[in-house]
Structure 1
Amino acid sequence: MIDTWVYLLIGLFLPLFPLSMGFNFVLGRSRSVLLRILLLLFWPQIGLILLQTVNSPVPGWMVPLALFTATLYALRALALREVGQWSGFLATSAWALLWVVLRGDLPVLQLHLFALGFSTPLALLALLGAGLERRFGAAYTGLYGGLAESIPRFSTILVLVVLAIIATPLFPTFFIMLVTVVQAVTLMPLVAVSVALVWLLWSWAGARLLQGLIVGPAGVNKVIDLNRFITGAYALALTLLVASGVYSIGVLL
């Protein structure tokens, strides 16, 4: 009985609907970009730490609920226009899929790395979203467009970060999703199909987000692009992500 209550608490940090609303409420009320980054990086880690206090295996009913949560938030991300809320919904969808791999026999350290792999590009997007707010007053798709023309360096980094979030090769998220699909097959083929559907919805949501920001004519107001130093810092972070993804090929697969 105690383990059941602990699992429900874990469902707050490894989001399960309707407990998933807790994270998005906290993230939505956070005005500090530093706080948003900390939430994105450490929220699922708390759930994985709590998981080590439970002695019983993950209940089977949690996997269907996790798949429902992941699919629901991936679908909701398709209609979102605010970058911060979009990142929160993608985080919720991604972290919910961790319940699938929790049913396997992966080491605890690897689970923490999976959560970090999902969270790191989302933290980078939080920084970029703050940059949009400074430049335009808000980070909404469709409010302004043509960023590829007006701020090309920023746009390039934004595209790469979104590609990392939606699990594009060779980023770590891609290999994490491959492992998740493999784990899902061992449970039930329908579970693997559901995970693949969530992955597809991420790609669609990412394309819609970029279309609303990157494509189109540039606005009349001039905005300052990223300087070379900051661009280099983002490029280094993305390079490290790719390097970790390539390194993880042998480890994860």
Structure 2
Amino acid sequence: MTLFLLLLAGIFLPLFPFSMIFSAVFSRLSHPVARILLLLLWPQAGVWLLAQAGLPLASPFFVGWAIFTFLLYALRLLTVRDLFQWSAMLLISATTLTWLLASTTADRLLLQQFVLWLTVAPVFLVFLAEALKVRFGAAYAGLFTGLARRLPRLSALLVFSVLAAMALPIFPAFFSMLGLMVQSPIHWGVPVLIGWLFWTWAGTRLLNGFVFGTPSQTTATDLCLGKTLAIGLGLMSVVILNLIWTGVTV
């Protein structure tokens, strides 16, 4: 029964090749709200299944499987240009790390918080990918470059969201990764750092394909001030809540 629950959890905290199920479901959903709900709820179901199987997780096999999946999808991020797919692959790569944390703690609430903070960046990226799709027909890096000059509001939000995806300091994913590193033995920490580096590299490539470079000729309109403030305040609120939650003072 325990093995069955763990394999089922491998669908919702995606382990390769079960991760293809999540990718297929995500690609079939067309409405951004549906995709965002999937990003938020899918990995939480995996945490629930892990808790039913018993915490802490006493299976080095599943931990090794999770590290492999984490690195595989972190590396694949380097080749993905579609922002929707990039967001989905980032979520897969990030949430597989829950298996590592689950092997060191019996605190289900801690696992739920860990997953939640790691889903922040993909959620905001889906919002922005939809905005790009409305304006250009696709959210594809390199299709229209130099958007910082043409669409400064959308570009600014995209930059901050990608920085959050890179798990840079002050963003929620950074503290989640830092906490994981503190609790992880060295033989786990090294591959986690390598995958984290891939996230940063992939995020930089993504920004180069959207924000920087020679401005493309486009008549697309920028985000209105209201939507810009709403998304910006939403991202800022998440950052502040995470800082309060983790006890960090600024």
Query: Which residue in 1 is equivalent to 2:211?
Result: 214
Query: Which residue in 2 is equivalent to 1:239?
Result: 236
Instruction: Kindly tell me the number of residue pairs found equivalent between the two proteins.
Output: 247
C-alpha displacement at 1:250, in angstroms?
2.9
Q: Conserved in 2, the CA contact under 8 Å of 1:3 and 1:56?
A: no
The ranges of structure 1 where at least 4 consecutive aligned residues each deviate by more than 6 angstroms after the TM superposition are none
- Taking the TM superposition and a 5 Å limit, the aligned residue runs for 1:8-87 are 8-55=7-54, 57-58=56-57, 59-87=59-87
C-alpha displacement at 1:217, in angstroms?
2.1
Q: Conserved in 2, the CA contact under 8 Å of 1:175 and 1:248?
A: no
Q: TM-score of the superposition, structure 2-length normalised?
A: 0.95
- Per-residue Cα deviation, 1:78-134 (whole angstroms, up to 9, x for no partner): 011111111111100000011111011252112111111111221111010011000
Query: Which residue in 2 is equivalent to 1:230?
Result: 227
Q: Hey, what's the Cα distance between the residues in 1 that align with 2:24 and 2:213?
A: 32
Query: Which residue in 2 is equivalent to 1:134?
Result: 134
Q: Conserved in 2, the CA contact under 8 Å of 1:152 and 1:225?
A: yes
C-alpha displacement at 1:234, in angstroms?
1.2
Q: Hey, what's the Cα distance between the residues in 2 that align with 1:113 and 1:157?
A: 24
Q: Secondary structure at the match of 1:61?
A: helix
AA partner of residue 76 (structure 1): R
Q: Hey, what's the Cα distance between the residues in 2 that align with 1:57 and 1:105?
A: 5
Shift in alpha-carbon separation, 1:196–1:246, aligned structure 2, 3 A: same
AA partner of residue 97 (structure 2): L
Q: Hey, what's the Cα distance between the residues in 1 that align with 2:121 and 2:85?
A: 15
**Structure 1 residues without counterparts, runs of 5 or longer:** none
Query: Which residue in 2 is equivalent to 1:200?
Result: 197
- Per-residue Cα deviation, 1:30-61 (whole angstroms, up to 9, x for no partner): 11111110111111001111222223752111
C-alpha displacement at 1:166, in angstroms?
1.4
C-alpha displacement at 1:62, in angstroms?
0.8
Query: Which residue in 1 is equivalent to 2:104?
Result: 104
- Taking the TM superposition and a 5 Å limit, the aligned residue runs for 1:159-198 are 159-185=159-185, 189-198=186-195
Q: Hey, what's the Cα distance between the residues in 1 that align with 2:235 and 2:119?
A: 13
**More off after superposition, 170-179 vs 219-228:** 219-228
Output the aligned Cα RMSD.
1.3
Q: Secondary structure at the match of 2:132?
A: helix
Q: Hey, what's the Cα distance between the residues in 2 that align with 1:143 and 1:18?
A: 30
Q: TM-score of the superposition, structure 1-length normalised?
A: 0.94
Q: Aligned residues: percent identity?
A: 42
Q: Hey, what's the Cα distance between the residues in 1 that align with 2:157 and 2:132?
A: 13
Q: Secondary structure at the match of 1:222?
A: coil
Q: Conserved in 2, the CA contact under 8 Å of 1:41 and 1:116?
A: yes
Q: Hey, what's the Cα distance between the residues in 1 that align with 2:77 and 2:55?
A: 34
Q: Hey, what's the Cα distance between the residues in 1 that align with 2:142 and 2:132?
A: 13
